[in-house]
Amino acid sequence: MTARSLKMGPMSLSKETRCMTCSLSSLCLPLSLNLEDIDLLDKIIKRRQPLKKGEHLFRQGDSFDCVYAVRSGSLKNYIMTNDGEEQITNFHLPSELVGLDGIDCTQYPIASKALETTTVCEIPYARLQELSSDLPDLRRQIFSSMSKEIREDKQMMLLLSKKNAEERVATFLANLSSRFKRRGYSPNTFRLPMSRNEIGNYLGLAVETVSRVFTRFQTMELIAVNGKEVHITDRDRLFEVAGLLECEAEDSARLITG
């Protein structure tokens, strides 16, 4: 996205921000939509001003009215526990849909916050419903995305209940690698937008444990780390530690990206 398009208002539909010219459209739109149908979808989408790091897309308990597609940057979803602690439930990368879990109620059951400068496409849900009634492929895409969120939640429950610390961190890195690969980026070298503390919160590990595992993986020459930059030096062994075949991680990434 260009600097010019980032400065435009939320309702602007410049050439750079239209669905049909977006490099992520094949990931977040049904491939079978024709240009006329994509143009109809374009007309209901709002492009919001970029969120700064730490700004909320929405807060837990806010009225539900929109779902969002991440265009650039990244978000973390979290809930506040009864004792006032933050529990991270997911991280979202470009092309991924956010807010679907608010569809069955009038409020967002989670909060979503930018991990870095982030742009999103805002899709009013009422208008999306109307449009999906006329576009069966779009309706199927929505149902598919909801189904994948359910399966992703089940995978996370399995991760937390059955795997040790090394397996959790390896699975996390393998999944991120596959998600970056799916977007056409390097699967071996990428930047972590989240902190070690946030990774630990998500994986149910102490931040000290996450740091020890990262150090151990470097000693084992599985990864090389420089700040938030991660380079996977032995992809096969990392997947082996995670207890995954690469095709399984690819499937896991598809559950999230659609």
Say what the pLDDT of residue 158 is. Answer: 76
Are 26 and 90 part of one and the same domain? yes
Say which DSSP state 256 is in: H
Are 119 and 239 part of one and the same domain? no
Are 144 and 168 part of one and the same domain? no
pLDDT, tens digit (0-9, with 9 covering 90-100), for 229-255: 999 999 999 999 998 765 444 544 444
Say what the pLDDT of residue 13 is. Answer: 42
Are 66 and 21 part of one and the same domain? yes
Are 93 and 173 part of one and the same domain? no
Q: Which residue shows structure tokens 């940057």? A: 73
Confidence of residue 29 (pLDDT cuts 50, 70, 90): low
Are 30 and 118 part of one and the same domain? yes
Confidence of residue 211 (pLDDT cuts 50, 70, 90): very high
- Name the β-bridge partners of 231: 189, 224
Cα–Cα distances in angstroms (integers) from residue 87 to residues 112, 199, 225, in the given order? 12, 11, 26
Say what the pLDDT of residue 141 is. Answer: 75
Residues 6+ apart with CB under 8 A from 2: 16
Are 57 and 140 part of one and the same domain? yes
Phi, psi of 53 (to 5 degrees): -55, 130
Are 122 and 170 part of one and the same domain? no
Q: Are 170 and 238 in contact (CB under 8 A)?
A: yes
Boundary (domain end) residue, out of 95, 114, 148: 148
Are 50 and 131 part of one and the same domain? yes
pLDDT, tens digit (0-9, with 9 covering 90-100), for 182-195: 888 899 999 999 99
Are 88 and 213 part of one and the same domain? no
Domain count along the chain: 2
Residue 153's identity, in one-letter code, is D
Find the domain containing 209 and state its range. Answer: 163-257
SS3 assignment, position 152: helix
**Model's pTM, two decimal places?**
0.80
Q: Is the pLDDT assigned to residue 92 strictly greater than 80?
A: yes
Say what the pLDDT of residue 11 is. Answer: 40
Domain assignment present for 244: yes
Say which DSSP state 21 is in: G
Domain assignment present for 236: yes
CA 70 – CA 240 distance, rounded (Å)? 31
Domain assignment present for 204: yes
Confidence of residue 136 (pLDDT cuts 50, 70, 90): confident
Domain assignment present for 98: yes
Residue 26: exposed, middle, or buried by beta-carbon count in 10 A (0-12, 13-18, 19+)?
A: exposed
Give me the numbers of helices (H) and strands (E) for the chain, helices first please.
10, 11
pLDDT, tens digit (0-9, with 9 covering 90-100), for 43-77: 888 888 999 999 999 999 999 999 998 999 999 99
Are 128 and 19 part of one and the same domain? yes
CATH number at residue 23: 2.60.120.10
Phi, psi of 29 (to 5 degrees): -115, 150
Are 129 and 184 part of one and the same domain? no
